[in-house]
Every structure is written in structure tokens, then in C-alpha cells.
Chain A
Amino acid sequence: MKMRQTIRHVSLLMPLVALLGGCGDGGQKPHASVSHYQVSDKPALPAQQILNRRIAMSPRTLDPSLATGIPAFNVIQDLFEGLLTLSADGKLVPGLATSWDVSPDGKTYVFHLRPNAKWSNGKPLTAGDFVYAWRRVVDPATGAQYADSLSPVVNASAIIDGKKKPDTLGVEAVDAHTFKVQLVKPTPYFLTMLYNQYLFPLYKPAIEKWGDAWTRPEHMVSDGPFKLTEWVINGHLTLEKNPYYYGADKVLLQKEIEYPISEADSALSRYLAGDLDFVNNPAFPASDYDWLKQSVGDQIRVSPYYACAYLGMMVHKPPFNNRDLRLALNLVLNRKVLSNKLSGGMQIPAYSLFPPLPGYQQQVPDWASWPMDKRIAEARRLYKKAGYSKDHPLKVELLYMTEGVSTQNYMEAVSTMWNRALGSQITLRNEEWKVMLQDLQYKNAKLFWSAWVGDYPEPYTFAQQFLASFAMNYGSYNNPAYQKAVKAAAGELDTQQRYASYEAAERILNKDVPMIPLYFYKAPELVKPYVAGVENNVVALHLARYIYIRQHSEKGQ
């Protein structure tokens, strides 16, 4: 549930690039000036193993317990490592834990740590460092936003609520290299959570000595393949190879410099100018995809991203307490047109909530395959059945956030489709992100845009949004059958059976229509040809430990 960073402002740069590029091309397709490289398979010299990479914004903190947002998450993943980590292609692999045992009831996990794991100051890393870090997260005094993610652990919820002390958390250092976790109930997604930054170990002496300032480069002690050596807020972060990392001999990159650039357009121009080697998701506005593809070709990488955009509705009060109306609105939207025309194919049309995941069978409603005229006819029937007509049209505001031109275009297209097909009078209202969040929390919006980025590759991260008890269930959807199915899935260790329960839950959502799915995201990234070790993965996380620079020379233009 990382907060989606939607900082895609209007910029004149790309139209200008296109315009001027087009002039230079005799009015042909516009092209930016692009360098071409002669690339060898061999790694470059160690002195040249430097990666210049863009992150979407300056992290607010690099404290793993406190950090939120994807940019901080990405940087912390290079500085720290947890019990498990991800492979280059996004699969869960052992991190600091080489192996683990799970009790038959699925409630006790025992992790065996690497005996040679060390902190960046050379001190040994022990199970006690995990105990300290996990207790710190749930301690309300810490103010950790992800605290309730630890709720599967024994006593976590009571500690977060201030009813128990942090040292009662169900974690234990059995010995220096054995870390034990007691869960309240079997939690099949527990292992997939462990690569998240809030579950990373922490070096207690640094935090106790420096307080909040322990994350400054001069004080920070980390356990990952890189250590922080420089941090200019809004300027850059420099990460250098950590010689004490247990796998240091396999890490080729010597240095990584992260540049916080919020504007995708600015990031693109700096990439084209050769200042950046890697521009992460979102690397460029979707509308630039076609001309950019012609300019930089294979340097564009687009992979599916575990995220979904949808329209939420307040289902507990009129007018959206009427299921016929919700379904009518859902039927009318032509996702293929929206995705193709507005994003150049950079989105995957969505008809249900859970993004594609290997092994999981998405539950697409039957009507998704109907021809549009049949869908519209059915929508009109339902609209009328719900009591609306030309003389009595549905009048409601669609709320979305100010940031992001693409969102605005999308919302305009959506409201136009509704109004044309049904004769409704749906108008748009945009608000700044914080204002919108407050309106949602106070239930001041009946119909609203929303997006969700999965925390871990498991349907639960999406399914929980529509549980009655979930704080971000802004539409107040409450169906006991849905909750039963999700809770059954959440406690099921057998993957096949678990997915079957999620599939049942998704079918209930499709039937109830508490939200209107719009699209699944793709992650557009730009990677220079000499940057090796970058593989597509659904969480768009590219750990620097797998990346290296190949020998290369510029061929000219």
C-alpha cells in the first residue's frame, strides 16, 4: 500500500522537444537527439562502475521504520536488507536468513541468519537487531506509519493501541543467529512481507546515540550492499559499496547516485542528455511513448506493475447504495478506448480489482467480453431501473486529485462516456492530494478516483481495502460474504486453496460493484544499453546489487 506518487505535472518540455525535433527532421516524426553506444558484454572497470539513477522525489527519511513512499523504499532497499529479499526478476529469495522453519500450524517462524552478516561498521549483525527493529516499529512512540502491518505478529495490535509494552511483541532472539516470530494465526503472505523496509534490522547504538539524526550519512550504519555517504535533500544521494556486506564479492557496482527529480519530463531530458543512466517508473508521460519508442527503442522497458486504478463509490448512501446504478456506470466505460487513446497502451484495461499474478486466475465479469452496444443497452436499462432518466439524470461530482495531467484527461473521458451514454450529469472536481484525502476520510465524496500499489505480490494487499474494518475502505463497503472469503484466504497456507478463496472474493466484488476498476499499471523505465542486470518485475524494484555497467563507448548520433 505504498502511497502512489503521482507527481506528473504539466510541462512544456516534451511538446517543445517534439516540436523542435520535428523541425530538424523535415517535418517527419519528431526525434530527440539520442546517443548510440557500442556495448561489450564485459563489465567496465571498477572505477567506472557508477550508476546515475533517478528517483521520483527526495526521501523524507531513510529510517526503515519510518519511511513511506516508493522513492524512500527504493533507496532503503540498497542500503539495508531484511530476512528475505528479491531477486533481479522480483522473486523472493533468502536475504539475511539463509533458511527458515515453519511450524505445522503455520504460526511460528524460525529464521536462521547468516553467521557472517555484518553492519557497515564491521560489527556483527545478530537476531537481537531484528528484535529491536520490530519492537521499534510497533512502539506507538516511534510514530511508524506501517506499524499495523505487523498486526499478524502476537501482541502487535495491542502494543500499537498502547495496551501492552513493545517487549511483549511475539519476536525473540533464540540465539545470536536464530530469530523466532510468533503469529496470531497462519498468515500465508507473511514471508512476502519480509522484504519490506519496516521489517529490516536496525543498529541500536547508532539510533540511541544520534536520535532522528542517525540517518545522516555521517551517522548511518546499515547492513545492505551499499552505505550512504552523501545526502543533499532535493539534490542527490550517494551510495557506495559496503565492503562488509556478506555478498560484497558479487556486487560489481561501486557507487550509485540517486537524483530526486519529480518531473518525469525533466528526468527524460536529463536521460536524453546523457546525465542519467537509469530513469525509473514513471520514466516519462504515457503520451510520449510512441515518439520516444522511435527515438530510443530498446532503452524503453515496460513491465506490468502490481497496481490498480479504480473509481471508488460511497456505497452506504444514495445514490451509490443502488447496485444497478453502480453496475450501469461500470458497463458503459470502454476501457480499451480509454487505455489506448489516453495512455498509448501504457495501461492494461481492468475489469476486476486484483492485478495479474502468476498462478492466480483473474475473475473477469462476463460482460467484459460483450460488444459495447450490448453493454450500453444493458447499462441504460439498469440506469432506468435505478430511477434515472433524461428528465431525472444522475447528478454527482467525480473527485480526483490535482496532480497528474493523465488523471485529469482520464477523468474527463470517463465522465464524457457516462454522460453521453446515459444522459447523466457527472461533473468533475479536483482537489490537492491532502485535501482529497481529508475529504475521503470524512466521507465527503460520493464518487472518487483512487489507485493502489501492492505492498507484496499477494491478492490480500488489494483485497483488504474492501474489508469493513479497514481504515481506507472509504466507500464503506460491507459484505459479510466477501469478508468471509478474504479471511478464509488470509488464513490458508495452501496456495491453490488460498487463490480459490481470493477468486471467490473477487467474484463477489464483481457482483457487488463497490468500485469501478479502470486499469492496471505498467511501469515504464528508461535504461541505457550499457546498464546490465536490470530485469522486469512486478514491483518495479531494481536492486543495485544486481546492476553493473558494461564496457561501452559512444558511437555518435
Chain B
Amino acid sequence: MMRFILRRVLGAIPTLWVIITLSFFMLRAAPGGPFTTQRALPPQVMANLKHMYHLDEPLWEQYLRYLGNILHGNFGPSFVYRGTSVNDLIAQGFPVDIIVGGLALLLAMLIGIPLGIKAALKQNTAWDYVPMGVAMAGISIPAFVVAPLLVLVLAVKAKWLPAGGWSGGHPLYLVLPVVSLALPMVAYMARLMRGSMVEVLNSPFIRTARAKGMPERIVIYRHALKPAMMPLISFLGPATVATLTGSIVVEQIFGLPGIGRFFVNGAMNRDYTLVMGVTILYGMLIVLFNLLADVLYGLLDPRVRLS
């Protein structure tokens, strides 16, 4: 197992290097720079700003300098948020994404998995049609529609919840962003769980178990559930990353200080170091969560030999 993990971690290094290199040069190729403003800067001021951030050096030198810095865990200063390092911005913004994304994922699992199981067990009944119909809608309707609707109903009309803001992660402020982010995930998980559960329930070993007169509860929870979870486990790796990184729209609508907004603003402002820092973080998350999903897969299914 350890060898497998080590191999995967080592294998991720060239992937991350490619991501860093491509991002670095693509960003520099984009027209405009961090100091391109409507108000053209006096040449001497511009020269000093460039010197301050080493932008007056040849590109390859900047690239090597950047690689050296990130090897030391230093993502450099933000070009736009003066006096703030990218490390500081990530340290400030990422916990917000972890809290909102983590809770959304948890909520999605708590609702989506039981819904999917129930629908599979009650195939072709209202228990199947209604949740699956709603799930279909949940998949089809994006967060930028769901979130304003929730704001309208629960914040503007009913005034039960705040319409946005963070307030240090106060539970009331978390409800709407978490629900907005969780809803499409609930739908995905429910449909995935239903599909795989139906497939497992129709497999020969379940038929055998039932033929032996095993109680249905045991059949489902001891024999069917574990293999039925496998597709969900595969889905959870990328889904976790997508939840943590894909909440940009939700962050924007609810005004959350997560890194998604830094990423978007950074790209618009050509804040090279900030965009790079967030890109690297996202890349590392993808590697990490895919690895976790694989390990979990191996632990649940002995037929998969990780080593």
C-alpha cells in the first residue's frame, strides 16, 4: 500500500511541473500585465514596479526563480494586493472553501446516498420516480440559478437567513451557500447510487443470498451496499475537488472570501503569482483526492490489489 501511495505521489510531481510550467508561460502570454491600467504609469514608475517584482528579468530567469520559490513553499507576493503574500491569501481563503465545500459534500452524501438506495429498493414506485425526477432537475439546474432562488425565498422574502456574507463562518451564513453547493451533488449521488444499487441487486450473488433465505436487511446492508458504493467512491475524488474548487459562482453570489474569487480576480488583474498559487493548489488537490479515492477503492474491494 505504502509503495502504491509513494509511487502515485512521485508520479504526481511531473504532472504538477507540467501544470506549473504551462500555467506560467500561458499567463505571461496573455495580453496586458499586472500594472496595465487605464491610467498609464510614468515610465520610471513602471520600471520600478517591474524591478520590484523581477518582471524586468528575462522570462526564463523569472521562471527559474519562481520554481525555486515554490520548492521552498513560497508562492511569492501578490502583484495586486500590495503587501500581501499569495501564501497569506490562500491561508485566508482556503479554509472558507474547506468549510463550505466540506459541509456541502457531507450534506450531499447524507441525503444523496440514502435517497439513491431507497429509489433502487423501491424501483418503479413513487419512491423511485419522485426523487429521481427531482435529482434530474438538480443536475440540470446550475448553482447560479439555484442560489439566487434560495436567496430570494429564504433571505429576501422570508428573511430567515442572511442573503450573503461570511461573518467568520457563523452557521446561519453557511446555510444557503452550503445548500446551493450541495444540491447538484445530492442529485448526482442519488442517481449514481440508484444505478449501481440496481445493478448489484440484480447480480447473481445477491440472488443466491436471497435464495438461501437471508433476511433482506442483511442482503442489502452487508452484501449489496459495499459493492454498490464503488462507483460512488470513484466519483467522490473528483467530486470533492470540484466542490472545493468549483464554488466560484457560489462564492461570488454569497460574497464568500474563498480562493475562488481570488482566482477569478487574479486572472482578470493578471496577478501572476496569485493565479499560479491557486492553480498549484488545485492541481495538488486533484492528485490528492484521486489518490484517496483509489486507496479507499482498494480497501473496500479486495479484488483491487493496489500494490
Chain A positions within 8 Å of B, measured between CB atoms, are 1, 3-4, 11-13, 16-17, 20, 32-33, 35, 57-58, 60-61, 63, 66, 68, 140-148, 160-162, 211-216, 232-236, 259-263, 265-266, 269-270, 272-275, 432-435, 437-439, 441, 471-472
Residues in B whose Cβ lies below 8 Å from that of A35: 159
Decide yes or no: A61 and B152 within 8 Å by CB, A143-B52, A235-B166 being known contacts. no
| Contacting pair B83 A33 (CB below 8 A) | no
Closest 5 pairs (CB-CB, A-B): A434-B32, A212-B83, A235-B257, A13-B148, A273-B163
Q: How far is the CB of A450 from chain B (nearest CB, A)?
A: 9
Give A143 to B35 CA distance when docked, in angstroms.
Answer: 10
Residue of A nearest to B261 (CB): A234
Q: How far is the CB of A476 from chain B (nearest CB, A)?
A: 14
Q: How far is the CB of B264 from chain A (nearest CB, A)?
A: 9
Q: Which of A35, A272, A275 has the most CB of B within 10 A?
A: A275
Give A260 to B255 CA distance when docked, in angstroms.
Answer: 8
Residue of A nearest to B260 (CB): A234
Residues in B whose Cβ lies below 8 Å from that of A259: 165, 255
Q: How far is the CB of B168 from chain A (nearest CB, A)?
A: 8
Decide yes or no: A33 and B157 within 8 Å by CB, A235-B257, A273-B162 being known contacts. yes
Known: A266-B164, A269-B155, A270-B155. 4 other contacts (CB 8 A): A63-B82, A232-B257, A270-B162, A437-B32
Residues in B whose Cβ lies below 8 Å from that of A432: 32, 268
A160, A434, A437: the one contacting B44 at CB < 8 Å is A160
Q: How far is the CB of B254 from chain A (nearest CB, A)?
A: 8
Residue of A nearest to B164 (CB): A270
| B84 CB within 8 Å of chain A | yes
B40, B48, B155: the one contacting A140 at CB < 8 Å is B48
Give A16 to B256 CA distance when docked, in angstroms.
Answer: 22
Residue of B nearest to A554 (CB): B159
Q: How far is the CB of B49 from chain A (nearest CB, A)?
A: 4
Q: How far is the CB of A528 from chain B (nearest CB, A)?
A: 14
Give A184 to B49 CA distance when docked, in angstroms.
Answer: 27
Q: How far is the CB of B163 from chain A (nearest CB, A)?
A: 4
Residue of B nearest to A262 (CB): B252
| Contacting pair A275 B162 (CB below 8 A) | yes
| B89 CB within 8 Å of chain A | yes
Could you give, for residues 20-58 of chain B, a 1 whenever the CB lies within 8 Å of some chain A CB and a 0 otherwise? 000000000011110011111111110111001000000
A4, A66, A260, A275: the one contacting B163 at CB < 8 Å is A275
Decide yes or no: A269 and B39 within 8 Å by CB, A233-B92, A434-B270 being known contacts. no
Give A33 to B156 CA distance when docked, in angstroms.
Answer: 6
B145, B151, B256: the one contacting A269 at CB < 8 Å is B151
| Contacting pair A441 B156 (CB below 8 A) | no
Residues in B whose Cβ lies below 8 Å from that of A236: 165-166
Decide yes or no: A16 and B152 within 8 Å by CB, A60-B80, A60-B81, A432-B268 being known contacts. yes
| Contacting pair A439 B148 (CB below 8 A) | no
| Contacting pair B37 A145 (CB below 8 A) | yes
Q: How far is the CB of B130 from chain A (nearest CB, A)?
A: 23
Residue of B nearest to A450 (CB): B38
| Contacting pair B38 A472 (CB below 8 A) | yes
Q: How far is the CB of B180 from chain A (nearest CB, A)?
A: 12
| Contacting pair A161 B257 (CB below 8 A) | no
Q: How far is the CB of A58 from chain B (nearest CB, A)?
A: 8
| B144 CB within 8 Å of chain A | yes
Residues in B whose Cβ lies below 8 Å from that of A235: 165-166, 255-257
Give A471 to B268 CA distance when docked, in angstroms.
Answer: 23
| Interface CB pairs A-B, < 8 A, 23 | A16-B152, A20-B152, A33-B157, A68-B37, A140-B44, A141-B48, A145-B37, A161-B42, A161-B43, A161-B44, A211-B83, A212-B82, A213-B83, A232-B257, A266-B253, A270-B162, A270-B255, A272-B163, A273-B162, A434-B31, A434-B33, A441-B36, A472-B40
| B18 CB within 8 Å of chain A | no
Give A221 to B164 CA distance when docked, in angstroms.
Answer: 31
Residues in B whose Cβ lies below 8 Å from that of A441: 36, 40
Residue of A nearest to B38 (CB): A3
| B304 CB within 8 Å of chain A | no
Give A256 to B159 CA distance when docked, in angstroms.
Answer: 23
| Contacting pair B156 A272 (CB below 8 A) | yes
| Contacting pair A17 B152 (CB below 8 A) | yes
Residues in B whose Cβ lies below 8 Å from that of A216: 83
Q: Which of B33, B151, B269, B270 has the most CB of A within 10 A?
A: B151
| Contacting pair A232 B252 (CB below 8 A) | no
Q: Which of A58, A211, A214, A273 has the most CB of B within 10 A?
A: A273
Residue of B nearest to A159 (CB): B44
| B195 CB within 8 Å of chain A | no
Residue of A nearest to B262 (CB): A234
Residues in A whose Cβ lies below 8 Å from that of B152: 13, 16-17, 20, 269
| Contacting pair B166 A232 (CB below 8 A) | yes
B48, B148, B252, B265: the one contacting A16 at CB < 8 Å is B148
| Contacting pair A145 B45 (CB below 8 A) | yes
Residue of B nearest to A17 (CB): B152
Within 8 A of A (CB), among B134-167: 144-145, 148-149, 151-153, 155-157, 159, 162-166
| Contacting pair B41 A145 (CB below 8 A) | yes
A-B contact count (CB 8 A): 178
| Contacting pair B83 A144 (CB below 8 A) | no
| B238 CB within 8 Å of chain A | no
Residues in A whose Cβ lies below 8 Å from that of B151: 13, 269, 273
Residues in B whose Cβ lies below 8 Å from that of A11: 144, 148, 253
Residues in A whose Cβ lies below 8 Å from that of B80: 60
B45, B156, B256: the one contacting A147 at CB < 8 Å is B45
Residues in A whose Cβ lies below 8 Å from that of B30: 434-435
Give A335 to B151 CA distance when docked, in angstroms.
Answer: 37
Residues in B whose Cβ lies below 8 Å from that of A3: 37-39
| Contacting pair B31 A160 (CB below 8 A) | no
Decide yes or no: A16 and B156 within 8 Å by CB, A63-B82, A234-B93 being known contacts. no
Decide yes or no: A434 and B45 within 8 Å by CB, A234-B261, A259-B165, A266-B164 being known contacts. no
| Contacting pair B145 A12 (CB below 8 A) | yes
Give A65 to B146 CA distance when docked, in angstroms.
Answer: 42
A12, A61, A63, A437: the one contacting B37 at CB < 8 Å is A437
Give A142 to B49 CA distance when docked, in angstroms.
Answer: 8
Give A315 to B93 CA distance when docked, in angstroms.
Answer: 47
| Contacting pair A143 B31 (CB below 8 A) | no
Give A234 to B256 CA distance when docked, in angstroms.
Answer: 7
A12, A16, A232, A435: the one contacting B31 at CB < 8 Å is A435
Q: Which of B39, B80, B144, B151 has the most CB of A within 10 A?
A: B39
Residue of A nearest to B52 (CB): A143
| Contacting pair A438 B163 (CB below 8 A) | no
Q: How far is the CB of B75 from chain A (nearest CB, A)?
A: 15
Q: How far is the CB of A153 from chain B (nearest CB, A)?
A: 14
Give A262 to B83 CA distance when docked, in angstroms.
Answer: 22
Give A394 to B268 CA distance when docked, in angstroms.
Answer: 33
Decide yes or no: A160 and B45 within 8 Å by CB, A145-B39, A434-B31, A434-B32 being known contacts. yes
| Contacting pair A68 B39 (CB below 8 A) | yes
| Contacting pair A266 B38 (CB below 8 A) | no
Give A472 to B162 CA distance when docked, in angstroms.
Answer: 43
Q: How far is the CB of B300 from chain A (nearest CB, A)?
A: 39
A58, A147, A214, A435: the one contacting B83 at CB < 8 Å is A214
Decide yes or no: A61 and B252 within 8 Å by CB, A140-B44, A160-B44, A269-B164 being known contacts. no
Give A235 to B96 CA distance when docked, in angstroms.
Answer: 11
Residue of B nearest to A61 (CB): B82
Q: How far is the CB of A54 from chain B (nearest CB, A)?
A: 9
Give A234 to B255 CA distance when docked, in angstroms.
Answer: 7
B48, B84, B164: the one contacting A275 at CB < 8 Å is B164
Residue of A nearest to B173 (CB): A275
